[in-house]
């Protein structure tokens, strides 16, 4: 009986220590990668704009330009584009502007060419989209390997690329 008890205790203590070790590793990775701030911190107006609600007179806020009073958010995503694709809704030129009934933006990683191709070959076929007045665009960030999507953009004319590294926090 006592042998069984000690084996059982040893087994449970080993499992317990493995769980503790896993939690410590996860905590360290979160700390190193900086993800803990985005997951566990409370996001509020005060944190985003460095202002308290008592410092703002809402009567002075212009509806069209609230940033004149509020300033810009602390974590604003870049609006600079590597591939702008300004003629996405113009059939590739500046003369024929067609306002789509629906614009579908698909977030894609730079290296996911096969996934984008699969979409283009299935529900994202040009014939179907044009017939239903729908536009499809893939929104990409950059990657550390500087993988270029210029050729793909020139061929399909459905790529928009911003100058931010493709990172989970930038998905918004």
User: 62-74, pLDDT tens digit by residue?
Assistant: 666 666 666 666 5
Show the domain range for 13: 2-70
The verdict on 163 and 144 lying in the same domain is: yes
The verdict on 28 and 98 lying in the same domain is: no
Which range of 6-15, 30-39, 156-165 scores highest in mean pLDDT? It is: 156-165
What is the number of domains present in the chain?
2
The residue from 70, 93, 113 where one domain ends is 70
User: 96-108, pLDDT tens digit by residue?
Assistant: 566 788 889 999 9
Predicted pLDDT at 114: 93
Please give the angle made by the CA atoms of 62, 169 and 44, to the nearest 5 degrees: 45
Say whether pLDDT at 154 is over 70: yes
Say whether pLDDT at 93 is over 80: no
Strand order in 81-83's β-sheet? Answer: 81-83, 159-165, 134-142, 102-107
Q: Is residue 75 part of a domain?
A: no
**Contact residues for 42 (Cβ-Cβ < 8 A; gap 6+):** none
The verdict on 55 and 93 lying in the same domain is: no
Predicted pLDDT at 48: 64
Q: How distant is the alpha carbon of residue 36 from its chain centre? A: 17
Alpha carbon separation from 102 to 131, 150, 160 (Å, rounded):
12, 25, 17
Q: Is residue 137 part of a domain?
A: yes
The verdict on 15 and 44 lying in the same domain is: yes
Say whether pLDDT at 120 is over 90: yes
CA distance 81 to 62: 28
The residue from 14, 35, 70 where one domain ends is 70
Q: Are 51 and 136 in contact (CB under 8 A)?
A: no
Say whether pLDDT at 89 is over 80: no
């Amino acid at each position: 009986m006592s042998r069984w008890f000690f084996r059982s205790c040893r087994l449970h203590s080993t499992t317990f220590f493995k769980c503790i070790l896993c939690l410590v590793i996860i905590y360290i990775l979160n700390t190193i990668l900086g993800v803990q701030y985005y997951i566990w911190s409370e996001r509020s107006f005060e944190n985003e704009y460095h202002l308290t609600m008592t410092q703002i007179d809402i009567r002075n806020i212009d509806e069209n330009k609230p940033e004149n009073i509020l300033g810009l958010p602390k974590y604003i995503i870049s609006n600079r584009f590597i591939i702008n694709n300004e003629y996405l809704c113009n059939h590739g030129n500046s003369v024929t502007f067609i306002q789509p009934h629906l614009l579908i933006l698909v977030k894609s990683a730079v290296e996911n060419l096969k996934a984008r191709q699969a979409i283009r070959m299935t529900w994202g076929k040009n014939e179907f989209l044009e017939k239903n007045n729908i536009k499809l665009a893939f929104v990409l960030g950059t990657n550390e390997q500087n993988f270029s999507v210029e050729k793909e953009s020139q061929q399909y004319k459905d790529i928009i690329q911003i100058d931010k590294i493709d990172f989970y926090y930038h998905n918004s």
